[in-house]
Structure 1
Amino acid sequence: MSLKAVLFDMDGVIVDTEPLHRKAYFKTFNQLEIEVSEDLYTSFTGASTKRVCETLISEFNLSHTHEDITNIKRTHFKDYFYNDEEFDLIPGVRKLIEHYYENNIKLIVASSASMTTINMVFEKFGLEKYFNGKISGADLKESKPHPEIFQLAAKMANESIENCMVIEDSTNGILAAHRANIFCAAYKSFHSHNQDYSLANVVISDYSEIEVDKISKHF
């Protein structure tokens, strides 16, 4: 056994788009002239945009379709994505990606985000050349914590699961890796709240901790 492929989650691991989604949603709520409480907003965590919009329609008795609201939100999100100065890669991740690439480790992104968002991130930050493949959970029947996305990612890398490592930051993602029997490094940042890392094989808060020489003792 040796480390041959790393399967990256995207949101919370490569970038943190959560603040952008939040700003885009609240700008949308203002436009729709509705007051969304913090509790209601928190309940949307992990839900698809479609489901959030359907909830808003029934909760506030709106005459819009979920497509209308989705389009308003997407427009604001795009605007923040390209123009928000605080939006950047997670500290240390570019160095880690380059490090794996130089060590001939295959890289696959396996994210619940839509392929459109994955491609926007890859284009904005010039990540395309480092990765061997991309999978969007939005295109799959089952979402995390179902292991399908990571099983497909290992297949895409053309490596057996014992030579793969997943980098995740969420309870559902860690559980998905665990169910796929793939070694999982949980990234715990100061943004991470209420996530359960108990099923991860290793928990880190700095990406230098999973460079090849440090992590290969596990393989």
Structure 2
Amino acid sequence: MKAVIFDMDGVIVDSEAAHIKMKIQALEEYGIACSPEECMPYFGRSSNAFFSDFIKKSAAHISLQEIVARKHQLFLQYVANDGNVNPIEGALELIHGLRRNNIPLALASSSVRSNIEWFLKKFGVFDCFDVVLSGAELSESKPNPEIYLLAAKKLGTGPQECVVIEDAEAGVTAAKMAGSYCIAYCNPVYKNCGQDVSSADMLVNSLTDISAERIIGINI
């Protein structure tokens, strides 16, 4: 193992409930109804993928770029004003532990860069990452492995030498397709919503169940 790549939403930040709420609000502003259950299959995927599908299903003449931008605006307003979006238990300690052991780290998230940087700076871990990638800037989103292949390349190592920490089915699929070792955090938010992360190499119920030393000891 030469490097570790983290997803963000649901792994570092307990933000999925807020994302669902703001997606529904953005759609409502454009006259499209959506339930929380309809959002769940899109965990781990980009806002572009989510809104593109809903625009097609509604046959509405809506600018994808415009509604995505509105959702991100609503989300940042929500987290800035409400402040009730917290780090996942054990995530920050794990990041700092890996950094203390001089393990190269990358952040590979489907979120937009503004959200990524806001949270990493808020939680004091922005400078811990050697590489920060936003899937919203790439041609394909998870479960396509593009973001993990690029993260490994920017870290200067092969994807098969990286450990990826994910929580959503799309992200686990992307990590395994890239050839990486994948640890899946079984986020309780996803319980009973059809998320299957069983293809991961290791499943944990809490990030406190793994340590920097345990990850460093993974033989891949």
Displacement of 1:71: 4.5
> What is aligned with 1:85?
83
Decide which of 105, 113, 123 is 2:121's aligned counterpart: 123
1:54/1:202 Cα in 2 relative to 1: closer, same or farther (>3 Å)? closer
> What is aligned with 1:153?
151
Aligned residues of 1:13 and 1:168 also touching (Cα < 8 A): yes
Amino acid at match of 1:172: A
Let me know the Cα RMSD of the aligned residues. Answer: 2.7
- The SS at the match of 1:191 is helix
> What is aligned with 2:111?
113
Aligned residues of 2:145 and 2:177 also touching (Cα < 8 A): yes
> What is aligned with 1:95?
93
The 1-side partners of 2:137 and 2:76 are apart by 21
Displacement of 1:137: 1.5
Give the TM-score, by structure 1 length. Answer: 0.83
Amino acid at match of 2:17: P
Displacement of 1:163: 3.1
Displacement of 1:25: 3.3
Amino acid at match of 1:111: S
> What is aligned with 1:209?
209
Amino acid at match of 2:201: N
Structure 1 unaligned runs (5+)?
Answer: none
Tell me the percent identity.
35
The 1-side partners of 2:62 and 2:149 are apart by 39
Aligned residues of 1:209 and 1:215 also touching (Cα < 8 A): no
Matches within 5 A, 1:171-182: 171-182=169-180
1:127/1:72 Cα in 2 relative to 1: closer, same or farther (>3 Å)? same
1:215/1:209 Cα in 2 relative to 1: closer, same or farther (>3 Å)? farther
Which of the pair has more CA radius of gyration? 1
The 2-side partners of 1:30 and 1:147 are apart by 32
* Number of residue pairs aligned between Structure 1 and Structure 2: 217
The 2-side partners of 1:22 and 1:12 are apart by 12
Larger CA deviation: 18-27 vs 181-190: 18-27
> What is aligned with 2:167?
169
User: 1:34-53 CA deviation, whole Å, 9 max, x = no partner?
Assistant: 65445555566566545655
Displacement of 1:84: 1.9
Displacement of 1:83: 1.9
Amino acid at match of 2:135: G
Larger CA deviation: 155-164 vs 76-85: 155-164
Aligned residues of 2:111 and 2:134 also touching (Cα < 8 A): yes
The 2-side partners of 1:64 and 1:217 are apart by 50
Structure 2 unaligned runs (5+)?
Answer: none
- The SS at the match of 2:111 is coil
User: 1:35-90 CA deviation, whole Å, 9 max, x = no partner?
Assistant: 54455555665665456556666766767644554444333212112122321111
Displacement of 1:114: 1.6
Give the TM-score, by structure 2 length. Answer: 0.82
The 2-side partners of 1:101 and 1:46 are apart by 25
> What is aligned with 2:140?
142
